[in-house]
């Protein structure tokens, strides 16, 4: 877990956020970061530094020898915040901001969180005792082979559980904000809210809706889906039908092909 390829782990909400907010002492400003081994802090004063491979993340250097990877997280509207490169290294002045203010340069990550961890390779060392996971599943290294396993109902893989073997299945609410963002933005993990019609339902008032994922009350995709109907009107009024373009009920004459 000592690689810059790991997901950022500290989420900080807001449009512009000071990176020491909520910490009791300056020595703790990096406490929620993940210690990584492939960033060289030699000769750098203690503080925060931009990470050229990812605008949403930054590095906290400590004692010119330790590097901790942290994340700016997302704004209240769901947009990824970027670290402002020239705001550090002083943790008191370091901040994250909306992308247009931060002015990060390509090829930095500017749109979506890092993709979830890929499944482990097919082989592992025969005497390894570890696990790796993603979303609601995980893999166990057993006798030299990765064996897939499934977390229980409404449980998700939490790679930040310090249990000595790589993580654990956990409740969604126990994941840090950055890990939650990664899972929520991966439709193969948690299908997003959506409106649609099935084949044969076009030009009718029948449509389907998947409600948003709720962190405090996790529901699988099927449990979040409902079949709904447009209003039928009254005497002398034509029934309304679903308009997939405008995502609302409408007169039949306004829906193309009907």
10 Å CB burial of residue 5 (0-12, 13-18, 19+) is exposed
- CB-CB neighbours of 10 under 10 Å: 22
User: Tokens for 146?
Assistant: 């990765």
Q: Give the pairing of strands 168-171 and 155-158.
A: antiparallel
Contact assessment for residue 139 and residue 146, using Cβ atoms and an 8 Å cutoff: yes
User: Tokens for 60?
Assistant: 């906290």
How far apart CA 122 and CA 257 sit, in angstroms, is 49
Q: Pick the more confident residue, 121 or 160.
A: 160
Q: How confident is the model at residue 120 (pLDDT cuts 50, 70, 90)?
A: low
Buried b (16+ CB within 10 A) or exposed e, 35-61: ebeebebeebebbbbbbeebbbbbbbb
**Helix intervals (H) in the chain:** 99-102, 177-184
Q: Pick the more confident residue, 124 or 86.
A: 86
What are the residues whose beta carbons fall under 8 Å from the beta carbon of 191, sequence distance 6 or more?
210, 221
Tell whether the model's pLDDT for residue 9 goes beyond 80. no
How far apart CA 136 and CA 239 sit, in angstroms, is 42
Cis peptide before 192 (omega within 30 of 0): no
What are the residues whose beta carbons fall under 8 Å from the beta carbon of 112, sequence distance 6 or more?
80, 185
Global confidence as pTM: 0.47
Residue pLDDT, tens place only, 130-158: 788 888 888 887 777 778 888 888 899 99
């Amino acid at each position: 877990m000592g690689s810059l390829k790991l997901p950022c782990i500290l989420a900080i909400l807001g449009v512009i956020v000071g990176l020491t907010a909520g910490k009791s002492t300056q020595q703790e400003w990096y406490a929620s970061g993940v210690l990584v081994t492939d960033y060289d802090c030699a000769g750098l004063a203690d503080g925060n530094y931009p990470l050229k491979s990812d605008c949403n993340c930054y590095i906290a250097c400590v004692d010119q020898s330790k590097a901790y990877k942290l994340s700016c997280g997302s704004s209240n509207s769901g947009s990824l915040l970027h670290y402002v490169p020239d705001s550090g290294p002083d943790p008191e002045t370091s901040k994250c901001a909306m992308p247009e203010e931060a002015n990060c340069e390509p090829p930095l990550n500017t749109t979506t969180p890092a993709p979830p961890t890929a499944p482990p390779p097919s082989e592992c060392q025969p005497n390894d005792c570890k696990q790796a996971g993603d979303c609601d599943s995980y893999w166990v290294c057993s006798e030299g082979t990765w064996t897939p396993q499934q977390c229980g109902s409404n449980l998700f893989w939490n790679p930040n559980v310090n249990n000595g073997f790589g993580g654990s299945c956990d409740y969604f609410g126990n994941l840090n904000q950055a890990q939650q963002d990664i899972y929520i933005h991966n439709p193969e993990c948690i299908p997003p809210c959506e409106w649609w019609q099935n084949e044969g339902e076009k030009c009718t008032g029948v449509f389907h809706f998947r409600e948003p994922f709720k962190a405090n009350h996790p529901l699988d995709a099927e449990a979040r889906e409902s079949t709904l109907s447009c209003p039928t009107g009254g005497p002398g009024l034509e029934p309304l039908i679903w308009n997939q373009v405008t995502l609302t009920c409408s007169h039949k004459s306004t829906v193309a092909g009907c």
